[in-house]
Amino acid sequence: MNYLWGGMLIAGIVYGALTGNLEEVTNGAINASKEAVTLAIGLLGVTAMWSGLLEIASGAGIIDWITKKIQPLLRFLFPRVPGGHPALEAISVNMIANFFGLGAAATPAGLKAMEELERLEDDRRSGKASGPVRKKGIASNEMCTFLIVNISSLQLIPVNVIAYRGQYGSVNPVAIVGPAIAATAVSTLAGILFCKMMDRGV
């Protein structure tokens, strides 16, 4: 990605210089930087609010309650992960945060889930846990499933998109909620079906 973005920047600068529009390239970079800062400040408030609500829900025991309720779903998605494994808790927190559109809050839980799934793979290699054994450095089925579900991510409230729309003057920023739910529901369902189909060839 670094090479890709670096190449695009260099290509833009070179093209601007060759066509005599280098001043426009410079002005565009400065204006985009200002806009990025303004957008980041606007997103900060929205993200802080929803992250705070997630913390309150966690302190009130709501997250634990939801985690217990989605255990059947977790067992369906990750049948080879032992019950009570730390990975399941991290996965559930990640899914809940994504469900409410809190990508920033979901990231730490997602990283923790991957770490725990890697530990599970180490246990399988050493014979402490059952399941298909993968070579070191090769993602397990559980890792692939988690990544796909995390990327497709069913969202009830697309916080970032609402914030973007509000920042750019949308008359009704929350009008995106319905289409977002439909789109993410379809993408999540497609991701789960794909994972289950591929899982047959373990």
Q: Averaged in consecutive runs of 10 residues, what is the pLDDT profile of the chain (202 residues)?
A: 82 82 80 78 71 77 80 88 84 84 76 89 81 78 89 78 78 86 89 84 55
Q: What is the pLDDT of residue 5?
A: 80
Which residue do the tokens 């399988």 mark?
A: 124
Q: What is the pLDDT of residue 184?
A: 86
Q: What is the pLDDT of residue 28?
A: 80
Tell whether the torsion through CA atoms of 66, 94, 146 and 99 is positive or negative: positive
Q: What is the pTM of this model?
A: 0.68
Q: What is the pLDDT of residue 202?
A: 54
Indicate the residue type of 172: N
* 54-62: long-range contacts, CB 8 A cutoff, minimum separation 24: 54/96, 54/97, 54/100, 54/102, 54/105
| 3-state SS class at 135 | coil
Contacts of 119 (CB under 8 A, 6+ apart): 87
**Could you give the CA distance from residue 134 to residue 26 in angstroms, rounded to a whole number?**
50
Q: What is the pLDDT of residue 7?
A: 87
Closest CA to 92 of 110, 104, 116: 110
